[in-house]
Structure 1
Amino acid sequence: MILSRSVLMVMAIGLTLSACGSGDDLRLRRFKNTGNGPDEFTVLPTKPLQAPESYNSLPPPNPGGANLVDPNPEAEGVAALGGNPAALTPHGVGAADGALLNRARRYGVTGGIRQTLAREDLEVRKRHGRVNIFNIGPNDDYTDAYKRQWLDAQRELRRLRAMGVGVPSAPPPKR
């Protein structure tokens, strides 16, 4: 009985102290700045304005794009460490990956393959996916649609070994 009274007393003290908290200061919980003061995330330190060497060399106006005096901390850090800041901008395929890309392209490249595959995948999932109107049970249309195309590792292992193909061992069969 004494233990239950002490538990109730601790709970009452905790409830009383939590009621003392003020819910008026919610500034840290807001995502938008609703005040009229400056937003610390929009005030950026920029480089001082300088006249260009030639006004003809200025890039055309780009609304919403980068400004010439905007800070670029990654490029500035690379330059400070003695690197080439131009290496940060992607320039296509690197020299180390050229041979791999040429090997992959040896039979030709289909343009728009990602859009084609996305459209075909959507068609397959619509055709073979089950309809789960009430959201009862697991909702996995992808597995339902492609289950017929899964490979049986043990059967493929036996088939390839019968053909004389050297294959590594497969996981043990499920029991």
Structure 2
Amino acid sequence: MRSILIITLSIALTGCFSNSRSVNQLQIVTPKHTQILVPSTARPLVPQATEIRLALEQQYMSWAGTPYRLGGADRSGIDCSAFVREVFGDIYNVQLPRSTDEQVTLGKEIARQELKPSDLIFFKTGRTQRHVGIYLGEGKFLHASTSRGVIISKLDNPYWKRNYWTARRAEEVVQLASL
């Protein structure tokens, strides 16, 4: 009987949410899955730090184990810049440029000790090769690794520490990408 009551309440509450939107509004789904309708001319909303961390963890759970594929842009195989583009599209509702070389030009450069969750971090992994990931906090970042696919790595890993290049503040990347 109690299960029937819970199911009935769930259905009733679900019915309160609407997926419709007017032509002048943009629907933004925050990491807590709350729908916010804002004028389409407004810039995307930037979630709070705890929401960002939760959203990044959810993205990781969704993409974990997806293999790396140069030029790939879906769950059958994805490269680092496409992965960052997909995650930022899902969390911030913006479309980042496709390549790492283009992504590194967005936003303000920040020092490594100033990193906050969702900031973009860049590495020089070869003479002309570049790599990008998303900072999670606590010295960890989310990325599409060439050897292990979508994983979480530590910035203090000797390889990543040696190849660290620069970082960009997420909020500014989002603002520039939404223009």
TM-score (norm 2): 0.17
Greater length-normalized contact order (CA 8 Å, ≥ 6 residues apart): 2
Structure whose alpha-carbon radius of gyration is higher: 1
Name whichever structure is richer in helix by fraction.
1
TM-score (norm 1): 0.17
